[in-house]
Amino acid sequence: MFHKEGFKIIIIVTFIVGLGILAIDKLVELIWLNKLLSLLLLGFYVLILQFFRNPKRHTMLNDSYIIAPVDGKVVVIEEVFEKEYFNEKRLQVSIFMSPINVHVTRYPIGGEVVYSKYHPGKYLVAWHPKASEANERTTVVISNKFSGEILYRQIAGALARRIVNYAKPQMKVVQGSDAGFIKFGSRVDLFLPLNAVIKVNLNDKIKGGEQIIATL
């Protein structure tokens, strides 16, 4: 199953790879080189397909759980001052996605979208300390009666050139459902209340839509 954001790219790449293999077959006479180039094209095709995969996830709906919004590796757990929306201290948990991770963004909690803003910016590597404030990004805040307000931020990386964000103000959203997509390597930051109990450790590899990041 592939994400809808990848349909157009997959069709284009399928056409290009098909033409490339036909061209190699007609123009490259050396058998070993013919096979090598064909395998390289097929390898590229498989990478594109796996990047846009959208596996089904089984979210255990619970307002006291903050669910991982993406697949990836935990690279930051620290107390910071969040200055775009809260203007107060929050617990930041950052998840880095490599190009081989699933890049679907999922809502960490259910509730109402109270804030959603796109920021143009740079394309520093996603793990850069200034990426959260300098890179192209979107900031979304979701609120419900139990969890209060939870902020997540999609951040473009050096390879990511398009952030897709489905969250719009006043939307009612379901925990674990599709919130968007980031194309080709990126990061997502979560900003949680200081009383949140973090359930992951640095360098943990986590699964979006299922794994519990924190409890309230």
Encoding tokens for residue 10? Answer: 């997959």
Encoding tokens for residue 103? Answer: 């890049």
Measured CA to CA in angstroms, residue 41 lies from 7, 10, 146, 159 at distances of 19, 14, 50, 20
Measured CA to CA in angstroms, residue 15 lies from 23, 26, 170 at distances of 12, 17, 40
Residues acting as catalytic residues: 186
Instruction: Find the helix or strand (DSSP H, E) in which 38 lies.
Output: helix 31-51
Instruction: Find the helix or strand (DSSP H, E) in which 68 lies.
Output: none
